[in-house]
Amino acid sequence: MNSNIKFKPIWFDSLGAKSSCTLVATPDVRILIDPGVAVMHPSFPASTMDKWRWCEQAERAIMAASKKAEVIIISHYHYDHFTDFEAELYRGKLLLAKNPNQYINDSQRGRAESFFSSLYQTLGKVSLQEVLEEPKPQKYVDPAKTLQIALNKDFGDYGKRRKEVLRLGEKWFKARAARWEKTKRIPALKLGEVEVRFAEGSEIRIGGTKLRFKGPLFHGVEYSRVGWVFSTIVEYGGEKLIHSSDLNGPVIEDYAQWIVEEKPDILILDGPMTYMLGYTLNLINFNRTLENALNIVENAECKLIIYDHHLPREPKFMERTKTIREKAGKLGVKMATAAEILGKTPAVLRSLRKQA
């Protein structure tokens, strides 16, 4: 694709370890998005040795890519999206990170505290405990209340159960918001060897390149207990790339429609967790992801969709998303995993053949 926005998949699930790390370059700036990796889960059909080998390869690839970037983006604090054990990855960078003080669940807040404590101490000789700010009472908008398409969708027999799920979710959100109002705030600091800004909801320009950050967005379904993320939009010269982060499909209709309205040339889209189908992913929400992905394929006018992360963690992922891939093919939309873009077979399929 002849484009002023270049990108390279650094590591994705289809390569054998959990990640969606992407290097994006415009004529102005090189940006590394979500520089994290985690080893595959126990049910992934590969040996323990292979899983750790892929994870180590990913770590090396991410470190090498970081040396080429001026900007690092962290969409949220899950280990397959950020690295907290290697401060060198962030040295000399502009770090655009998820705000750790709001729209964050408890476990990610704990990870963020550990991360910024290490980062500030290593790259600025600053103790996080000494610079923590007093909490600021404020009103936190419930992001579920803005989801007009999802809230007005007819779920048939599931409607009653869904109302109860949303009621409990709202209660959970209010409890989190009350905690944010009482918790000391991690500051965004500009130090000698790193500059940190909290990105969601903001926009910055670097030369002719515009970076926008859409969020906070639910990590999956409404009131997902694993927290919130933001999506990254890179624009240059009339071209656009979106890195969706963890929207899980997307499962929420409003997020799919937002992507449609953005009309990105390149879309890096995570898929549903089909390896958890019947457990944390029920059939109703899985079908939502298929409908939403079809909406994107049919109406977003993408030239290329990288459909990866979460999805290629089990062998039947292509079969389970066949309708989407077929529709993309008919419409001339290139849709592939990161492995396929790099000329490789997805690791989960290679491992299955190896075991056969």
Please indicate, yes or no, if residue 231 is contained in any of the structural domains: yes
Indicate whether 109 belongs to any domain.
yes
pLDDT of residue 144: 97
Whether 1 is covered by a domain: the verdict is no
Residue 173 belongs to some domain of the structure: yes
Q: Which domain holds residue 162?
A: 6-355
What CATH number should be reported for the domain holding residue 130? 3.60.15.10
Q: Report the percentage of the chain scoring pLDDT > 70.
A: 98
pLDDT digits (tens, 9 = 90+) for 16-35: 999 999 999 999 999 999 99
Contacts of 56 (CB under 8 A, 6+ apart): none
The CA-CA-CA angle for residues 140, 73, 85, to 5°, reads 105
Q: Say whether the peptide bond before residue 250 is cis (omega within 30 degrees of 0).
A: yes
Predicted confidence at residue 313, as pLDDT, reads 97
Q: Residues of the chain whose pLDDT is less than 50?
A: 1
Q: Is the dihedral of CA 154, 259, 169, 38 positive or negative?
A: positive
DSSP-derived letter for residue 155 is -
| pLDDT computed for residue 279 by the predictor | 87
Which pLDDT value is given to residue 25? 98
- Number of domains present in the structure of the chain: 1
Whole-angstrom Cα distance, residue 252 to residue 162? 13
CB atoms under 10 Å from CB of 233, counted, come to 19
Tell me whether residue 85 is in a domain: yes
Record the pTM. 0.97
| Residue 137: per-residue pLDDT | 84
The answer to whether residue 47 is domain-embedded is yes
